Structure 1
Amino acid sequence: MPTLSQGRSDSPGPEPHRHRRTAESFGVDAERYDRARPPYPQALIDRIIAASPGRHVLDVGAGTGIEARQFQAAGCTVLGVEPDERMAAFARRALIEVEVARFEDWQPHGRRFDAVIAGTAWHWVDPVAGAAKAARVLRPGGRLAPFHHVPQLPVEVVDALTEALRRIAPDFPFDPGLLRETAMDAYRPLFARITDGIRRTGGFTEPEQWDFTWQRTYTRDEWLDQLPTFGGLTRLPPHELAQVLDSVGAAIDTLGGHATLPYTTVVITSTRSPTA
């Protein structure tokens, strides 16, 4: 889902990585985030591992450890880097090793990795500085592979969300056109920035895009549990958020109490050049 906004006085613009208050707001309810956000397709995990020279993985923006647990289950050793101590603490309880820092500021202390991944988090990283840091910590032939979920929301949900935000929080910066677009069209500028950032380092092979399509049916309660975990909504006051959820819940009721979302999970990936 595209970031709805970066907060009332921290609007998104074209560079979400500059808006730190939203980027570091997700830990306000880490348990909900971990419970409600979907995991990543197993085929994605398997392909990244198969295309990497080994199984030592650095997870950027590790959050609560959703993708880190998946890579660990597939036999990888995973180190997370996460700027929000609350999210990091949750991940550690799930036995994920996490260091608290912005990736651009994080110190590797000579450590090298076979893959650098990021699960729906690379948009919070400076695309050039992040790719340059990844090139420094990857072994030759190591793989940079940030990936993002791209869900297509039902128009009824988009309309209800738009109406609720305009009525309840009129100063909330929000472009409903973003969610009315075909989801992949809405995300295309993000993927172009990631690709450009990798190219500009001069340290990687030409980036590729891997797409993994799937779908998930959410009950009303499951979708309303996930919605507050998205950027911008994490910073709404509780009474305003409750009204937004009531409006979206009513829209899901008109769909029969559930909504099926088609997803494409997109990987922008490249390997570190041997001479970088």
Structure 2
Amino acid sequence: MPTLSQGQPDTSGPEPYRHRQTAESFGVDAERYDRARPPYPQALVDRIIAASPGRYILDVGAGTGIEARQFQAAGCTVLGVEPDERMAAFARRSRIEVEVARFEDWQPAGRQFDAVIAGTAWHWVDPVAGAAKAAQVLRPGGRLAPFHHVPQLPVQLIDALAEALHRVAPDSPFNPGLLSGSAVDAYQPLFAKIADGIRQTGSFSEPEQWRFTWEHTYSREEWLDQLPTFGGLTQLPADKMAEVLNSARNAIDELGGHTTMPYTSVVITATRSNTA
């Protein structure tokens, strides 16, 4: 969630991609990240593939390989670029080829791709430099398609997390209170920045949004397993993380010990111009 990573959008303050310590902190528990983070809707994967000229995919911020495995299972050849060696090492265990670098600094060595994707990771990339690098490595007609999960947290859980974080980590960039209304609306400033970065390159068609709605029911244990993987929480000391988890546990217990969470997975996408 943006800053975030599967947690919430950044609507004020420094750009998320400047928060390098947070951006490269997810590998602290790569196994938990891979286990707890949800995959993407198959319809999303299928539409990106169908709208691309071929099946050679570059996955930016590949992490542990969650979306790379989905595209690979759909018949694609996937190369990941990931700044965290710990995450890359985990992805390689599932036979995903990964090169360790920040995307803006990565050297493609003349390789070209049919699609550049990023699963809940493009907010860690400079939106203009990242789009320009994507234009460089996409063949004409290739598709840039970063996508994000947008979860609609229950109000009780939002309130519990906001109270706990205000108490134990008031400076945390993770602010669940921003999601108290429509989560998709709260993410729009982030999506607008991504689209503006694509436009500024002059190398793509007009960006558009594709939305895919779905839901997932979490048990108490499943949600508590995922919560420490959110950007802004990955660096909390153990004692403070325990307080946040306890507040979340109490909120989920009040909901009956589980919660069904609506998601919207949003793709911001454009096609590389034939004349770029």
Q: Structures share a fold, TM > 0.5? A: yes
Aligned match of 1:70: 70
Distance of 2:41 and 2:4 partners within structure 1? 24
Give the letter for the 2:101 counterpart.
Answer: A
SS for the counterpart of 1:233 is coil
Correspondence for 2:140 = 140
CA deviations on 1:136-157 (whole Å, 9 max, x unpaired) are 0000000000000000000000
CA deviation after TM superposition for structure 1 residue 171, in Å: 4.1
Q: What is the TM-score of this pair, normalised by structure 1? A: 0.95
Name the SS for the 1:109 alignment partner.
coil
Identity %: 81
Post-superposition offset of 1:12 = 7.1
Matched residue of 2:103: which SS?
A: coil
Residue deviations 1:198-217, cap 9 Å, x none?
Answer: 00000001111100000001
**Counterpart check, 1:239 vs 2:234:** no
1:39-50 to structure 2, matched below 5 A, reads 39-50=39-50
Q: Is the 8 A contact 1:2 1:186 kept in 2?
A: no
Distance 1:82 1:4 in 2: 17
**Counterpart for residue 211 of structure 1:** 211
SS at match of 1:104: helix
Change (3 A) 1:165 1:4: farther
Q: Which residues in structure 2 correspond to 1:177-188 (within 5 Å)?
A: 177-188=177-188
Aligned to 2:8: none
- Distance across 1 between alignment mates of 2:18 and 2:173: 16
Distance of 1:104 and 1:78 partners within structure 2: 19
Q: Secondary structure at the match of 1:234?
A: coil
CA gap of 1:2–1:110, structure 2 versus 1, over 3 A, is closer
- Give SS of 1:44's match: helix
5+ unaligned residues in a row in structure 2: which ranges? Answer: 6-10
Q: For the Cα contact (< 8 Å) 1:148–1:266, is it kept in 2? A: yes
Q: What is the total number of aligned residue pairs between the two structures?
A: 271
Q: Hey, what does 1:8 align to over in structure 2?
A: none
Runs of 4+ in 1 over 6 A off after TM superposition: none
Counterpart AA for 2:24: E
Asked if structure 1 preserves the Cα contact closer than 8 Å seen for 2:2 and 2:16, the reply is no
Q: Distance in 2 between matches of 1:64 and 1:12?
A: 29
State the distance in 1 between where 2:173 and 2:20 align.
16
Contact in 1 for aligned 2:59/2:81 (Cα 8 Å): yes
Deviations 1:131-183 (A, max 9, x none): 00000000000000000000000000011101111222344355443121310
> The residue matched to 2:206 in structure 1 has which SS?
coil
Q: Secondary structure at the match of 1:3?
A: coil
Q: Which amino acid aligns with 1:122?
A: W
Aligned residue for 2:227?
227
Alignment of 1:1-276 (within 5 A): 1-3=1-3, 13-173=13-173, 175-276=175-276
How many angstroms does 1:15 deviate by? 1.0
Q: RMSD of aligned C-alpha atoms?
A: 1.5
What is the one-letter code of the residue matched to 1:161? Answer: L
- Residues 54-88 of structure 1: CA distance to partner in whole angstroms, max 9, x if unpaired? 00000000000000000000000000000000000
Shift of 1:4: 5.3
- Residues 225, 19 of structure 1: CA spacing in aligned structure 2 closer, same or farther, 3 A cutoff? same
